Structure 1
C-alpha cells in the first residue's frame, strides 16, 4: 500500500484554502483519502485534516512539501505534515493505579494503538505491578519526593530526549508536573483526570462528587499545561449514578470511564485528529 500522509492545518478563514490544498495534491500526483474541515465563525479560523496517498508513480513529495510551504506563507497557516506509516514514539507514566497503563499496553499489543512505546516510567518500583507483562518495554523507576522533584524531573526529561519520545501519556501518574516541564511538553503530553473537569479538581474527586450528591461521574483527557487540570480538553465521558453509589463504587466505575477516555484521546492524537486552538482543541473524531 502507498504511504499515508496526514496534513493538518489552521489559519484565518478565507476563500480558496480547500481548493489550493486539493489542487496542490492533485498536481503533484496524490489522492485524497479522507478530509475533514471546520470553519469556526466565532474566531474566524479555519481547521483542516487531510489524509492522502500517492496516486501515480511520478508523485513528487519534495515538490509537494515545497508547495505547501508556499501555501503556509500565503494563508498564514499553522501546518503539520506527517508520514503515518512511522509510528509515534510514546512514553507512558504511571503511579500506583495501573488500570490505564494496562489498557494502553493491551491496545498497543493488539494493534489498536499504532505507537512505539519508548518506556514505562513510574514513581513506584517494578514490583508494584506484579505480573504485568511489559513485552520488552524498558521500565524506569524514578522515585520522587518534594525535596527531589527537580532532580527527578530532570532525569525524566533526559529520558524523553534520549528516547526521542514524541508523546508523553500520564496514565494516572499522580504527580503534578512542574511549570517548566509542562512547558517543554506543551502539546505532546496527555493526562487523564478522574473527574469530569472543570468540576472536582485535585485530590479525591470521587469523594468530592459523593459529598455533593452528583448524578453523573466522568473522566477527562486533556493536554497538560502549567494550569493544573485546565489544559485543552480532548475527550470526556460520563456515567449516571444514584444516591446509592458509594465513593468506592464511583471509583470502580470511574476506572472503566478513565480507560476508554484516555485510549480514545491517545488514539486520536496518534492519528493526527487533534488540532490545538489556544485553550481548546478541534477533534476530527471518527
Structure 2
C-alpha cells in the first residue's frame, strides 16, 4: 500500500505514522519525507505491506484517518496494485501519445487507459498504435469550445478517469474546466518554464539565441503554463540550429519529461504544495 500525506509541521509525525504501521503489523518498504520551512508544512510518502498477522486494510485506514483528524492532515491511501485510470488528450502531434502508449504496453506505466480524445481526426495519429482503445474525435472552434469541454468532462465522469494527460493537446482549457481537473490534469509544455510561455516556444527560443532548450510537465491551472511543475529537462543547442532543429530535438525531451511526470503521479510521488509540487522520486 502507499500512503502519501501533508500537514502542518510539528514534532512526532514520522513517529506517529510509523507507530500505527508497526502496531497494525505492517512492514515499511520505503519512506520519504520533506519539511518545507518556508510554508511550515510536512510531506511524506510511505510504501508498506501488510504481513500475515496484520490488521485488516480497513482497520489500518481507520487509524490513519484518526491521526489525520488530530494533525489536520490531508492524505491518500491506496493499494499499489490498483491502477489509476488515465485519459489522453492529443492534437495533431502524437509523439508523446505514441510514447505513453508504448510505455503502457510494456508495463512501464501502471495505468488503465480510459480513452483517447483528439480534436482532429484519427488519421492524424498514424504513428500511434491505438489498437481497440476508445477513441473520440471532438473537434473544437471558438464557438464550440464550451460544448466540447462539456463533452470531455462527461467522458471523464463516465469512465471514472483519475488523471487527464494533455499529450501535446494544443488547446488552452477554460478556467472552469481547469478548476474541475485541479490536481489531476498534467500538461507537457515544450519549453523550460517559466521561459517562453504560450505558442511556438521553440521559435521564441531561437529568436533569443538560447543555448539550452527544454520541456516542462506541470499540473494545469487557470493560469496558462503556471501550474505546479512536476518534471523538467533540457538539451544543449548551438547557434547553427534552426527552429525546425529545435522542434526535432524537443520531441525527445517532451516524451521523456511527460512520461516521467505521469509515472510520478501514478505512483503517488507528487504532493501539491501551493504553487509548487513536492516530488518524491524513486
- Using the size of structure 1 for normalisation, the TM-score is 0.97
Residue 28 of structure 1 contacts residue 61 of structure 1 at CA under 8 Å; is this kept in 2?
A: no
Considering only aligned residues, what root-mean-square deviation do their CA atoms show, in Å? 0.9
Q: Which runs of 5+ in 2 are unaligned?
A: none
CA contact (8 A) 2:89 2:169 kept: yes
Q: What is the correspondence of 1:217-232 to structure 2 with a 5 Å cutoff?
A: 217-232=213-228
* In structure 2, C-alpha distance between the alignment counterparts of 1:102 and 1:24, rounded to whole Å: 43
Q: Distance in 2 between matches of 1:132 and 1:284?
A: 31
Note the C-alpha offset of 1:164: 0.4
Q: Give CA deviations for 1:34-89 in whole Å, capped at 9, x if unaligned.
A: 00001112221110000011122343221111111111111111111111211000
- Confirm or deny that 1:102 pairs with 2:98: yes
Alpha-carbon contact 2:191-2:197 (below 8 Å) kept? yes
* Among 216, 230, 241, the residue aligned to 2:212: 216
* Partner in structure 2 of residue 256 of structure 1: 252
- Residue 135 of structure 1: aligned partner: 131
Contact 2:95 2:127 (C-alpha < 8 Å) held by counterparts: no
Q: Structure 1: which 5+ runs fail to align? A: none
Give CA-to-partner distance per residue, 1:112-170, whole Å, 9 cap, x none. 00000000100011111226321321110000000000110010100000000000000
Tell me, what secondary structure is at the counterpart of 1:64?
helix
Residue range with higher mean Cα deviation, 192-201 or 123-132: 123-132
Q: Structure 2: how far apart are the matches of 1:208 and 1:134?
A: 33
Which residue of structure 1 lines up, in the alignment, with residue 58 of structure 2?
Answer: 62
- Secondary structure of the equivalent of 2:206? helix
Secondary structure at 1:195's aligned position in 2? Answer: coil
Question: Is the counterpart of residue 36 in structure 1 residue 32 in structure 2?
Answer: yes
**How do 1:1-286 and structure 2 match up within 5 A?**
5-130=1-126, 132-286=128-282
**Range moving further from structure 2, 161-170 or 8-17:** 8-17
Deviates more, 1:77-86 or 1:262-271: 77-86
